[in-house]
Amino acid sequence: HRDLHSFPTRRSSDLDFCNQLALEKHFTRQANKNQALLEVQSKLITEVSAGRVDKVKKELTAITKNLGEKSFYRLKWEGYLALKEKNYAEAEALYRKALAKNPLDKEARINLALALLGQKKRSEAEKIYKQLKSEFPMDEVVAKLGTAF
C-alpha cells in the first residue's frame, strides 16, 4: 500500500514556470514574425520608391510565406499596386478585405477613398474622408485627400 503523498504532484509554481515558458516561446515567435514583416515592409517601400513594381510583387511572396495569403499586409500592398496601376475596382476590393481585418488602418482607408474616387464613387469616398478628418484633424495626408472634395 503506497502513501498517496509519495507520488510526485505538480506544484503551482511548476505550472507557473511552464506557463511562463510557453508564453516566452509564443512572444519570441511573434517577435521574430514581426521582425521579418518589418524587413519585408522596408524592402517594399524601397522598391516602390524606386518604381520597381515587379520587385514589389516578388517581395509580396515573402509576406505570403510568412503571414499567409490573406494577411492584412499582403491585401494592403496588393491594393496599393492595383491603385498604382489604376485598377480601381480591384484596389477597392482588396482594401475592403484588408480593412475587414484591420478596420482602423488609416493608410488603407485613405487608399480605399482614392480607389472609390477613381471609380467616381465620390459620396462614399467623402464619407471615409470625413471620418478620417474627425479622427486625424491635423494629418497632412488626410488634408490632401480633402482637396478632392
Q: Read off the pLDDT of residues 107-120 as tens digits, 9 standing for 90 and up.
A: 999 999 999 999 99
The total number of residues shown for the chain amounts to 149
pTM above 0.85, yes or no: no
Kindly report the average pLDDT of the chain as a whole number.
85
Question: In which band, very low, low, confident or very high, does the pLDDT at 130 lie, cut at 50, 70 and 90?
Answer: very high
CB neighbour list of residue 135: distance below 8 Å, 6 or more residues apart: 106
For residue 114, the tally of other CB atoms under 10 A from its CB is 20
pLDDT of 5 > 60? The answer is: no
pLDDT of 67 > 80? The answer is: no
Angle, CA 102 vertex, CA 99 and CA 105 arms, to 5°: 80
Q: Are 109 and 128 in contact (CB under 8 A)?
A: yes
The residue type at 105: D
CA 24 – CA 7 distance, rounded (Å): 29
